[in-house]
Amino acid sequence: MAQKLLLPLVFTFGLVGLTFLAPLRQNPRVLAAFLGTALALCAWNALLLVWVRRGNRKLRLEVVLRKQHYLQACVQGSLLAYWGWYWPPVYAFAPFILAQLVFAYAFDMLLVWSRRDTYDLGFAPFPVVVSINLFLWFKPDWFYLQFGLVALGLAAKELIRWNRDGRRVHIFNPSSFPLAVFSVFLLAAGKSDITWGQTIATTQFYPPHMYLALFLLGMPGQFLFGVTTMTMSAVVSTYLFGRLYFAATGIYFFYDSYIPISVFLGMILLFNDPATSPRTELGRIIYGALYGLSAVGLYQLLGGAGMPTFYDKLLQVPLLNLSSKWIDRIAGQSFTLVRSLTPRQRNLAYMSIWAVIFAGMSATQGVGDGHPGQWLPFWQHACEDGRAYACPYLADLETSFCDRRSGWACNEAGLLHIALSRSGEDLRRSDPAGAAEPLRRGCELGFAAACRNLSTLTTGTGTFARAQPTLADLPVILRGSKGEIRERDPAALYALARREGWPDICGHSSLTADGLP
* Cβ-based neighbours of 93, under 8 Å, separated by 6 or more: 133, 137
Tell which of 195, 214, 245 closes a domain.
195
CA angle 61, 67, 72 (to 5 degrees): 105
Strand partners, 162: 169
Q: How many domains is the chain partitioned into structurally?
A: 3
What distance in Å separates the CA atoms of residue 86 and residue 94, rounded to the nearest whole number? 15
The answer to whether residue 336 scores a pLDDT higher than 70 is no
Residues 77-98, buried b or exposed e (16+ Cβ, 10 A)? eebbebbbebbeebeebeebbb
Better-scored residue on pLDDT, 261 or 345: 261
pLDDT at 401: 95
CA atoms in the 13 A half-sphere facing the CB of 343: 9
Q: How large is the average pLDDT for residues 13-41?
A: 94
Same domain, 8 and 122: yes
Same domain, 183 and 207: no
Q: 137 phi and psi, to 5 degrees? A: -125, 140
517 in any annotated domain = no
Q: Is 350 exposed, middle or buried (0-12, 13-18, 19+ CB in 10 A)?
A: buried
pLDDT in tens, 262-301: 999 999 999 999 999 999 989 999 999 999 999 999 999 9
pLDDT in tens, 368-386: 999 999 999 999 999 999 9
Same domain, 344 and 387: no
Q: How large is the average pLDDT for residues 326-336?
A: 80
Give the domain range for residue 438. Answer: 375-510
- What is the SS3 assignment for 64? coil
The answer to whether residue 337 scores a pLDDT higher than 70 is no
Q: How large is the average pLDDT for residues 31-53?
A: 95
Check: CB of residue 2 under 8 Å from CB of residue 52: yes
Share of the chain above pLDDT 90, in %: 80
1 in any annotated domain = yes
516 in any annotated domain = no
* Cβ-based neighbours of 393, under 8 Å, separated by 6 or more: 251, 255, 379
504 — pLDDT class (breaks 50, 70, 90): low
pLDDT in tens, 437-491: 999 999 999 999 999 999 999 998 889 999 999 999 999 999 989 888 888 888 8
pLDDT at 515: 34
How many other C-beta atoms lie within 10 A of the C-beta of residue 321? 23
Check: CB of residue 285 under 8 Å from CB of residue 234: no
pLDDT at 182: 98
Same domain, 185 and 212: no
214 in any annotated domain = yes
133 in any annotated domain = yes
Q: How large is the average pLDDT for residues 159-187?
A: 94
The answer to whether residue 97 scores a pLDDT higher than 90 is yes
DSSP letter string over 297-332? HHHHHHHHTT--SGGGGTTTHHHHHHTHHHHHHHH-
Same domain, 67 and 92: yes
First to last CA, the chain: 84
In 3D space, the residue among 71, 52, 60, 157 whose CA is nearest the CA of residue 107 turns out to be 157
Tell which of 331, 351, 370 closes a domain.
370
Same domain, 302 and 391: no
Mean pLDDT of the chain: 92
Check: CB of residue 439 under 8 Å from CB of residue 411: yes
20 in any annotated domain = yes
* Cβ-based neighbours of 187, under 8 Å, separated by 6 or more: 302, 307, 308, 311
pLDDT in tens, 49-92: 999 999 888 999 999 999 989 999 999 999 999 999 999 999 99
510 — pLDDT class (breaks 50, 70, 90): very low
22 — pLDDT class (breaks 50, 70, 90): confident
334 — pLDDT class (breaks 50, 70, 90): low
Same domain, 42 and 59: yes
Instruction: Give, to the nearest 10 degrees, the angle between helix 210-225 and helix 228-249.
Output: 140
Better-scored residue on pLDDT, 143 or 499: 143
515 in any annotated domain = no
* Cβ-based neighbours of 230, under 8 Å, separated by 6 or more: 271, 272, 277, 284, 285, 287, 288, 291
pLDDT at 339: 64
Check: CB of residue 110 under 8 Å from CB of residue 158: no
**Integer angstrom CA distances of residue 158 from 53, 124, 411:** 23, 12, 57
The answer to whether residue 511 scores a pLDDT higher than 50 is no
pLDDT at 244: 97
pLDDT at 24: 87
500 — pLDDT class (breaks 50, 70, 90): confident
How many other C-beta atoms lie within 10 A of the C-beta of residue 29? 13
pLDDT at 509: 36
Question: What does pTM read for this prediction?
Answer: 0.92
DSSP letter string over 345-381? HHHHHHHHHHHHHHHHHHHTTSSSS--GGGSHHHHHH
pLDDT in tens, 222-240: 999 989 999 999 999 999 9
Same domain, 132 and 170: yes
Same domain, 129 and 243: no
Tell which of 370, 403, 429 closes a domain.
370
Same domain, 340 and 474: no
72 in any annotated domain = yes
Same domain, 275 and 181: no
Same domain, 153 and 66: yes
